[in-house]
A and B are shown apart, each in its own frame.
Chain A
Amino acid sequence: MSPTSHSCPIVEGLLHVAPTAVLFLAFSFGLNARVSTSQAGSALRRPYEIERGQGSDSVAAQNQQSEPGKSPANAPEPVLADGTPIRLKFVRAVVSSQVIAGEKLPLEVVEPVFAGKLVTIPQHSPVEAIVTMAQASRNMGRGGDLQFKIENIRLADGELVPVRAVKDVKGKGNRAAALTGEAGLAAGFAFSPVSPLSFLIYVKGKNATIPAGAEITAYIVGDFQLDPSKFQDAAAVPQEKNAPQ
């Protein structure tokens, strides 16, 4: 340090770092544009809520796996069996930054569910999932998180039956940014105006996203004896192309 620098060290310091500060500002504007672009995506509607009605669950003692078009010969009454899979799909896309825990997500049944010859859950029946945890993507390239569960499904006779379906969707992190940011911090470069490492920690990871039409399978919990008079026969229901024959 020269003797003259003692006369006005702050001014000298400012002059010393001015070029790097200008570069810093210029780079920050450039990065800002990139981050904004990466956050742009498809439009989403607000989550709609399906009013849940009252229903009662009854568990039957019989245990059998039902298949479409097949009815057990000796079974007195058809049973919707424990573990019966129900294919569901999301009606619209879901993004972790746009939902809050407790909100409901609309799904629908992809193909009808049969118990013997009876249609227990018609195709396109509405189902709702509940968001159990939601977090938007974060800085330093870390992704968002979205967890949800489906607790029950309404049968064709109006009764609700419990199902199990839990899903945890993680948004992809921006690994390169996260690693570089961490490396920068570890190396003590984070505050250096000349290092691009200090900018990378502002790069966000991706939100956890479920695209519209994404499928998930829920499973019936428990066996449910059915009253045949309350369900339509499979033969009477028009079949769509993607429904099982």
Chain B
Amino acid sequence: MTIFQRMSIVTLMVLAVTNFLHAQEATSTPPQSSTASPPEDKRRSEEETRKRLEQLACGPKGIHFSHHTDKGPQALPEQSPDKGLIYVIRTKSPFGATGQARLAMDGKWVGVNRVGNYFYIEVDPGPHYFCMKAGLDEPGLLSLVVEKGKTYYLRHGFIISGIDLEFLDEEKGKQYVAKYSRSVFEEKHKK
């Protein structure tokens, strides 16, 4: 199979997947002829919840970060008794390996990771909303009530259908932090 044939296959795949995702969105709207109102309410409510969480969590558009990986010795922060500490870890996956993945918390972008990176943030106790975004994919969303003096490990990565975001247990989280390198980033300002 030539490179051109492979390119053709990939192009058609992208078209088909886009078509599929559009179809998914279309069917999530209430059907006109449905007589069963409870399922409609539920779907609306899920959508509303997702939109609300997206509004609470995701940062504004047009923010970009410069990024590099610090491969030097890792100095980990001390856990403050009055705050929560969240490690944000990007694990290895076969998809989206080259792109940046940005995390927003409570409507503000707070960091960027590439594959095999992590960064950490100190947060005040209480409810917080997380939005992980990369490229044009749908954002990964999560909400958590942070407790003071506690450490959390938020893992993210890519799967073919989008962003994967979840909390890890302490043991796994520590393993990743020990194995991976710290992400160093800075917001780019337009001149």
**A interface vs B, CB < 8 Å?**
1, 5, 9-10, 12-14, 16-18, 21, 24-25, 28-29, 31-33, 35-36, 39-44, 46, 95, 97-102, 130-136, 138-140, 145, 181, 185, 190-191, 193, 198, 201-202
Contacts and interface: CB of A to CB of B under 8 A. Distances in A.
B37 interface: yes
B143 A102 contact: yes
A191 B42 contact: no
Contacts of B165: 135
B63 interface: no
B159 A140 contact: yes
B139 to A, nearest CB: 12
A102 B145 contact: yes
Nearest to A188: B94
B178 interface: no
Contacts of B40: 43
Contacts of B166: 135, 138, 145
Interface of B: 2, 4-10, 12-13, 15-17, 19-20, 23-24, 27-28, 37-43, 45-46, 49-50, 52-53, 56, 94, 126-129, 141-145, 159-162, 164-167
Given A10-B7, A16-B5, A43-B39, A185 B94 contact: yes
B161 A140 contact: yes
Given A100-B129, A130-B145, A140-B159, A43 B41 contact: yes
B9 to A, nearest CB: 5
A78 B160 CA distance: 62
B159 A201 contact: yes
B147 to A, nearest CB: 8
A133 B147 CA distance: 11
Contacts of B6: 13
Contacts, number: 152
Contacts of B24: 32, 35-36, 202
A24 B9 CA distance: 12
A130 B127 CA distance: 10
Given A13-B2, A132-B145, A135-B142, A100 B56 contact: yes
B124 to A, nearest CB: 13
A10 B5 CA distance: 6
B16 A40 contact: no
Given A24-B16, A132-B144, A202-B161, 12 more contacts: A10-B8, A28-B17, A36-B24, A43-B41, A43-B45, A97-B46, A98-B42, A100-B53, A131-B143, A135-B143, A135-B165, A193-B12
